[in-house]
Amino acid sequence: MTKIGLEIHCQLTNLESKLFCPCKANYREYEPNTNICPICIGLPGSLPRLNQKAIEKASMIAMALNCSTPEKIAFFRKNYFYPDLPKNFQITQLNIYGDTSIGGLGYTMVGEKKIRITRVQLEEDPGRLIYEGSSSKNQTTLVDYNRAGTPLVEIVTEPDFENPKQVREFLNILSDLLQNLGVSDPSLEGAMRADANVSIEGGNKVEIKNIGSFHDLEKAIHFEITRQESLYSRNIPIVQETRHWDDRRKITISARSKEEELDYRYFLEGDIPWIRIDKDTQERLQKEMPESISSKKDRYVSKYGIPAQVADVLSSDKFYSDLFEQSHNEKNAKEIANIITTDLMGLVDTREKREQSKFTSKHLEELADAIQSGKITRNSAKNALYEIVKTGKDLTQIIAELDLGNVSDESEIEKIINEVISQEPQAVEQAKKNPQTINYLVGKVMQKTKGKADPKLTLDLLKNKIK
Amino acid sequence: MSLRISALEYVQEVQNGNISAEDYVSKTIEQINNVDENLHAFLQINSEAIDNARQIDKKIKSGKNVGACFGMPISIKDNICIKDSKTTCASNMLENFIAPYDATVISKLKQQDAIFVGKTNLDEFAMGLTTEFSAFGPSRNPWNLDYVPGGSSGGSAVSVSAFECLASLGSDTGGSVRNPASFCGVVGFKPTYGLISRFGLISYANSIEQIGPIARTVKDTAFILNMIAGLDPNDNTTIDNSNQDYLLGIDSGIEGKKIGIIKEMIGEGIDSAVMSATKNAISKFQGLGAVCEEVSLDMVKYSVAAYYTITATEAGSNLARYDNLRYGYDFPVEGYEFNSYISKARRKFGPEVTRRMILGGFVPSSGHAGKYFLKALKVKQKLTQEIDQLFKKYDFLIAPTVPVLPFKIGEKIDDPVALFLVDINTVTANLTGKPAISVPFEISNGLPIGIQIFANSNDDKSLLQAARALESTVKLPEVPI
Amino acid sequence: MVNEQEIEIVAKLMKIEIDDHKEYIDKVHAMIDYFDILDNAGVQDEEISMKDIPLSNLREDKHIPYEDKLIERLNNYKGTYVRAPKMI
């Protein structure tokens, strides 16, 4: 059986400041080395100043993954030399003196499959390296420390995945979970990264590092399984090693000789006392945690009778579920869920579109009311929504400007029905024989009114006419 | 006007208008110019010191609020950062390093109108106890120029002893304030771990070291402590001292107090002159109304081995950042591969630092951590438990600060294990986080002997009272400088 | 126990080039030998812990830009980068 385990690194992008200094946590908009200070650059004499909220958010992640949460957490130094590491050690967490990582054993469900979490730890992200020069001879390395010290949560799983598909599903669930907790925006470049370890039946564990995206992660796992199976079938032993993902050639390459030298000399970080997170604090954090995705989904189904599939889509995306929470009431909930999932999602399906769009939860509320009170048809509502997203104008204004209001004046509809009946004698005859086909005539009336005729009224009037 | 006054006397004299800050600071600079060529206490002199003093005099005359130091000349160990000035750690590696910020202790002293006359010599990165390991040459003991002044804050102790300043700040990782204070006949204080912010102190072994004042009297020590102690948001390991006034009630005496004499610190290898000084000190304490008895601190036997294991490990990590990429000396990266470049760049470390780096790679490595590093941490833990037990019964513990007299320059430099044993009485305070102070007590053959007093964590104030009580029984000859 | 090869490995790990291996072997060996007394301390059962502080003592999550153009005080390359040797 194939066994896959993951180490996922997730930046706490929604924090204001870095893990140990007040520089900006979201480093993305800065010119190189302009989001740095003596602490994150590791100048002599500087000391780490731990960010309280980073601990709270990391602890919430641990709780959401059903992990045990110790009452005291500790930080350690992982020592190795690399130019992106200003102090040449990384402040991280470990469980060598008891359970002192922010999260201990836990699990999360992927469908029916239980994925066990080994631990959750809080650590600092290194800076970024940029390679310059074409040949190996004239190559130099440029370093940008803007990212150095960004709060990073590492989630380590047991090797419980059996195939890349489960991995993908898990990562989707995790990504939604992090977003729902309000700790991270996984869509930001580099906000979520993962390493994997893969072993097949009868073989040793192989670690794959250096994987740039989740898309490549799946490819790397696929490649690795195929490579190992091929070795196995030819009776070549699969050695335990670390391999690097080659992004260009889309293969994994042995990095063994390099890794062998590494001896991280882990020991306690004396500049940070152990942090007490007592039971009261843990309860407070638990209370402050946003409602979980599954709890939201259950509530949507049981309280408002929203279909399970719709509730699922709605609850798992924080952007849409927040919108739903802000705009719905007992009466319009179903309608709002419907507008969001059938119309809005198509209109603002990318981050850019969301950011540019001008609609508010108030718009949704008004739109649902207008539909429910028969002011406009669903069809017109869709057109109105398009305008709202584009312009942010008031619904009443849009209805007036685009003439989207329902035609519910009986005499007016009757006039149009008469026109249709005279133009479509064949269809009228057919409808008399087979009442099902009357919808064709309703459609014609709608066409003539640009979808604004009250559909129920139109049907009733038509039925009366051609009885 | 004499330079030979205490810091508190200086404040008094300036306040009374008997002397000006400019006069005193000018004279101090003159003294440095006269004696420091031989002593080598200083690595740099602040060329603006006299100007600064003049400014403070103006402030005094204009009736504005003046800080408690009134322009007092203070020297600073060169591993503590002063903004826009060099902080070298007496290492070629940081020869050109200019700190972009003030250490917390420096900001606090600036607020109180202290004047920094210069940066003092130390063993490179504070690793040593003789100041011989400075990349810029050793300092000399003002009591006898052939002798080491102790270390690693040797320059600081020398500058205070030789009237080149009124007080100094050193750092104490395993005795680096108390040892040179003892060897130079001045007061050296290592506070409770966390009492003084380490922000801006260049780390050597950060889990056990503290900045500490060196002064000519216990009262001066308390005066300096008042200004620099307390919680600092820049250092997560600092503790809240509720703004205690360490001078208030410093003459309370020690009548009725219980004092334990640490048996393991007056045993094998102790110099007979040091032993007799210790006995005299015990009589003095008894004369002051304290009860003294011998106590045992079993883990002291293992303390030096634990101390060096822990410090080498932390130093190996703390000094890893010196790779010459972000700051350092001129050595272009062209043509080098990363590993070979930094291995070459780091050759600027002196031999003692290099030795401790090697040790610091060895003892915590995955193959040996269980044998050395973990056991060292456990010794530290157990030693702390033992001393905590003693403090349930005793108010203070005492021992000689150093079991031997100052020795000659060059005498022990090539024997690391012989040097280890010089540390045996001082490392306990660092490993356990307890406050300890060295009080100058006797002169033997023209060389000073200090007595060390320990107190329980956060009892720094009563420790200073005990030190003051002992000091009041002593009258030492003048330093022959 | 401490031989030339071991010193070489540790020197490599700590990224310090050394010339005189003999000098380091002798002195480091003497130090390590001395550390062997730790075996007699009988501390196997001790647990490691450290001083702890409550969560509420920590820094508030607030962005405060550093007031100084720090990169200008560092070894910089093309104005804004730090330059490192090649990584092969």
CATH number at residue B479: 3.90.1300.10
Six-digit token pair at C5? 């090869």
Could you tell me the end-to-end alpha-carbon distance of chain A, in angstroms, rounded to an integer? 68
What is the residue range of C12's domain? 1-40
Of B355, B382, B417, nearest to C46 by CB-CB distance is B382
Mark yes or no for CB contact B321/A83 under 8 Å.
Answer: no
Amino acid at A423: Q
Of B103, B334, B367, nearest to A45 by CB-CB distance is B103
Region A1-23: what's the mean pLDDT? 97
Region A29-40: what's the mean pLDDT? 96
Mark yes or no for CB contact C48/B349 under 8 Å.
Answer: no
Name the DSSP class of A201: T
Mark yes or no for CB contact B316/A50 under 8 Å.
Answer: no
pLDDT, tens digit (0-9, with 9 covering 90-100), for B71-88: 999 999 999 999 999 999
What 3-state class would DSSP assign to B408? strand
What is the residue range of B379's domain? 1-481
A64 and A161 assigned to the same domain: yes
CATH number at residue A415: 1.10.10
ipTM computed for the complex: 0.96
Judged by a CB distance cut-off of 8 A, whether residue B236 touches chain C is: yes
Residue found by looking up tokens 């550390």 in the block: C35
Judged by a CB distance cut-off of 8 A, whether residue A271 touches chain B is: yes
Mark yes or no for CB contact B358/C24 under 8 Å.
Answer: yes
A33 and A56 assigned to the same domain: yes
Q: Which positions in chain B touch C6 (Cβ < 8 Å)?
A: 362
Q: How far is A222 from chain C (nearest CA, A)?
A: 28
**pLDDT value at position A259?**
45
Residues B357/B319, Cβ–Cβ less than 8 Å = yes
A171 and A258 assigned to the same domain: yes
Residues C73/B98, Cβ–Cβ less than 8 Å = yes
- For A111, other C-beta atoms within 10 Å of its C-beta total 9
A460 and A388 assigned to the same domain: no
Judged by a CB distance cut-off of 8 A, whether residue A259 touches chain B is: no
Mark yes or no for CB contact A143/C83 under 8 Å.
Answer: yes
Mutation pick from C2, C4, C8, C15 vs chain B, by most beta carbons of B within 10 Å, is C15
Residues C14/B317, Cβ–Cβ less than 8 Å = no
**Which A residues, 168 through 227, put their C-beta within 8 Å of a C-beta on chain C?**
none
In a domain, C28, yes or no: yes
Q: Which positions in chain B touch C37 (Cβ < 8 Å)?
A: 301-302, 305
Q: A with C: how many residue pairs have Cβ under 8 Å apart?
A: 134
**Number of domains comprising chain A:** 3
Judged by a CB distance cut-off of 8 A, whether residue A283 touches chain C is: no
**DSSP E strand boundaries for B234-273:** 258-262
Judged by a CB distance cut-off of 8 A, whether residue C16 touches chain A is: no
Active site residue B6: no
Amino acid at A205: K
User: Cα–Cα distance between A105 and A94 in angstroms, integer?
Assistant: 13
Q: Which residue from B minimizes the CA distance to A22? A: B234
User: Cα–Cα distance between B43 and B6 in angstroms, integer?
Assistant: 24
**pLDDT value at position A9?**
96
- For B444, other C-beta atoms within 10 Å of its C-beta total 16
Residues A389/A323, Cβ–Cβ less than 8 Å = no
Mark yes or no for CB contact C16/B346 under 8 Å.
Answer: yes
Mark yes or no for CB contact A274/C60 under 8 Å.
Answer: no
Mutation pick from A267, A268, A274, A275 vs chain B, by most beta carbons of B within 10 Å, is A267
Mark yes or no for CB contact A72/C85 under 8 Å.
Answer: no
- Across the strands, what pairs with A254? A243
Mark yes or no for CB contact C84/A15 under 8 Å.
Answer: no
What is the residue range of A438's domain? 410-465
Residue found by looking up tokens 């070894």 in the block: C75
Please give the average pLDDT of every successive group of 10 residues along chain B, which has 481 residues: 95 96 98 98 98 97 95 98 97 95 98 98 97 98 98 98 98 98 98 98 98 98 98 97 97 98 94 98 98 98 97 98 95 92 96 94 88 95 98 98 97 86 96 98 98 98 98 96 85
pLDDT, tens digit (0-9, with 9 covering 90-100), for A135-186: 767 788 999 999 999 999 999 999 999 999 999 999 999 999 999 999 999 8
Who contacts B216 (Cβ-Cβ below 8 Å, separation ≥6)? B6, B7, B160, B161, B166, B167, B186, B187
Active site residue B77: yes
In a domain, C29, yes or no: yes
A440 and A329 assigned to the same domain: no
Sheet of A89-92: strand order equals A89-92, A76-79, A267-268
Active site residue B252: no
Of C58, C63, C64, nearest to A52 by CB-CB distance is C58
Q: How far is C87 from chain A (nearest CA, A)?
A: 7
Residue A260 has pLDDT above 80, yes or no: no
Judged by a CB distance cut-off of 8 A, whether residue C47 touches chain A is: yes
**Better-scored residue on pLDDT, A138 or A376:** A376
Among the listed residues B430, B480, B418, B424, the one whose alpha carbon sits nearest the alpha carbon of residue B454? B430
User: Cα–Cα distance between A83 and A157 in angstroms, integer?
Assistant: 29
In a domain, C4, yes or no: yes
Judged by a CB distance cut-off of 8 A, whether residue C50 touches chain A is: yes
**Number of domains comprising chain C:** 1
Among the listed residues A162, A168, A171, the one whose alpha carbon sits nearest the alpha carbon of residue A225? A162
Q: How far is A209 from chain B (nearest CA, A)?
A: 21
Please state whether the predicted TM-score (pTM) of the whole model is above 0.80: yes
Q: Which positions in chain A touch B201 (Cβ < 8 Å)?
A: 45
Residues B162/B156, Cβ–Cβ less than 8 Å = no
Lowest mean pLDDT among A78-87, A266-275, A303-312, C20-29: C20-29
Judged by a CB distance cut-off of 8 A, whether residue C80 touches chain A is: yes
Residues B165/B158, Cβ–Cβ less than 8 Å = no
**Number of domains comprising chain B:** 1
Mark yes or no for CB contact C53/A25 under 8 Å.
Answer: no
Mean per-residue pLDDT over chain C, rounded: 90
In a domain, C1, yes or no: yes
Q: How confident is the model at residue A431 (pLDDT cuts 50, 70, 90)?
A: confident
Q: Would you say the C-alpha torsion B251, B252, B254, B257 has a positive or negative sign?
A: negative
In a domain, C67, yes or no: no
User: Cα–Cα distance between B56 and B50 in angstroms, integer?
Assistant: 10
Task: Name the catalytic one among B20, B139, B159, B176.
Answer: B176
Question: How do strand B291-295 and strand B258-262 relate by DSSP bridges?
Answer: parallel
**Which A residues, 308 through 327, put their C-beta within 8 Å of a C-beta on chain B?**
none
